[in-house]
Amino acid sequence: MTEKSIVEYISKLTRINVSPHQIDSLNRQLSKIIGYIEKLNELDVENVEPMRTATLQRDVFRPDQPKLSMLKDDILNNAPQREGDYFKVPKIIE
């Protein structure tokens, strides 16, 4: 498959219309991406342990202890409109 046909094939798969003048630009971008991935494939990662996250920070959890929170009426009194025990909002779906 030529690189031009790869761009056309991907555009068909993604159902994105690509004009003929965009194909050249996308082809150059795709070539750069593939070149970068090929450089990554050259790296020796034999003794590198997989990472869960990109940071070394450990997960910090607090103990789950019940505590008092705001009262329902205090919360509902902040609502612009209220209907019973609920916030009243405008209907957005017909």
In a domain, 93, yes or no: no
In a domain, 36, yes or no: yes
> Mind listing the pLDDT tens digit for each residue in 36-79?
999 988 988 889 888 777 777 777 788 888 888 878 888 888 88
CATH number at residue 35: 1.10.20
CB 56 within 8 A of CB 69: no
Work out the end-to-end distance of the chain between its first and last CA atoms, rounded to an integer number of angstroms: 48
**Residues spanned by the domain of 24:** 3-41
> Mind listing the pLDDT tens digit for each residue in 12-42?
999 999 888 888 888 888 889 989 999 988 9
CA distances from 53 to 49, 50, 82 (A): 12, 9, 43
Q: How many domains does the chain have?
A: 1
